[in-house]
């Protein structure tokens, strides 16, 4: 099971890494990176085949999942983070890589339909499992964030009382919140 945690820097690296692979690579993984980015950018125009995730290396798979989880949880379109020029570069690269798609089709014809179906099912189940894990993680992180904001508001209220709150009382409130944060962290890592 893959745990998904990401920062703004991770998302920037994911976009830059997938863009670089899509625009400079010449293999199947580069084609899938291009199709993935274009699918996130405009899914109606560029439908995405989730089973293609299986051909990503672990590094690019993590980048793709983090990026997709981020865009889904923030409900932000990829166009917010990638310029039209960057998308045009990916489109141009995909047109160059597309002949490689024919080789993949020839390989597929050599497999039996049953084997192809089994592989498709396995890849689909893997992708669904990864997306469910991403959704659970995003939910957990959201709950932890909300709890942290509540504690921050408690501390602000305690500090805001000014004359009525001594330094010692404020330190005790902060120590209690630290203890609760550590307990929450232990609970979260146990899940």
Determine if residue 61 is left, alpha or beta; phi over 0 gives left, psi from -120 to 50 gives alpha, anything else beta.
alpha
Give the SS3 label for residue 35: helix
Question: SS3 for 83?
Answer: coil
What is the pTM for the complete model shown?
A: 0.50
Calculate the CA 49 to chain-centre distance.
17
Sign of CA dihedral 88, 65, 150, 170: negative
Domain boundaries, the chain: 8-110, 113-191
Distance separating alpha carbons of residues 38 and 79, to the nearest angstrom? 10
In order, the DSSP letters of 141-187 are: HHHHHHHHHHHHHHHHHHHHTGGGS-HHHHHHHHHHHHHHHHHHHHH
Tens digit of pLDDT at every position of the chain (191 positions): 556 677 888 889 999 999 999 999 888 888 889 999 999 998 888 888 888 777 788 889 888 888 998 998 889 999 999 999 999 999 999 988 876 443 444 454 455 666 777 788 888 888 888 888 888 888 888 888 888 777 766 766 766 654 455 667 767 777 887 888 888 888 888 76
């Amino acid at each position: 099971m893959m745990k998904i945690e990401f920062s703004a820097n991770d998302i920037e690296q994911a976009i830059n890494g997938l863009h670089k692979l899509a625009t400079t690579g010449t293999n199947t993984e580069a084609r899938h990176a291009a199709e993935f980015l274009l699918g996130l950018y405009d899914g109606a125009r560029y439908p995405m085949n989730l089973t293609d995730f299986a051909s990503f290396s672990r590094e690019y798979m993590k980048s793709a999942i983090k990026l997709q989880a981020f865009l889904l949880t923030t409900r932000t379109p990829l166009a917010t983070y990638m310029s039209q020029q960057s998308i045009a570069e990916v489109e141009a690269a995909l047109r160059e890589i597309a002949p490689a798609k024919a080789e993949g089709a020839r390989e597929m014809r050599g497999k039996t339909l049953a084997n192809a179906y089994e592989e498709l099912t396995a890849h689909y189940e893997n992708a669904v499992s990864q997306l469910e894990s991403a959704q659970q993680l995003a939910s957990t992180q959201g709950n932890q964030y909300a709890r942290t904001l509540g504690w921050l508001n408690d501390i602000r209220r305690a500090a805001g009382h000014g004359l009525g709150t001594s330094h010692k009382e404020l330190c005790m409130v902060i120590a209690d919140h630290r203890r609760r944060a550590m307990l929450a962290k232990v609970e979260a890592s146990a899940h």
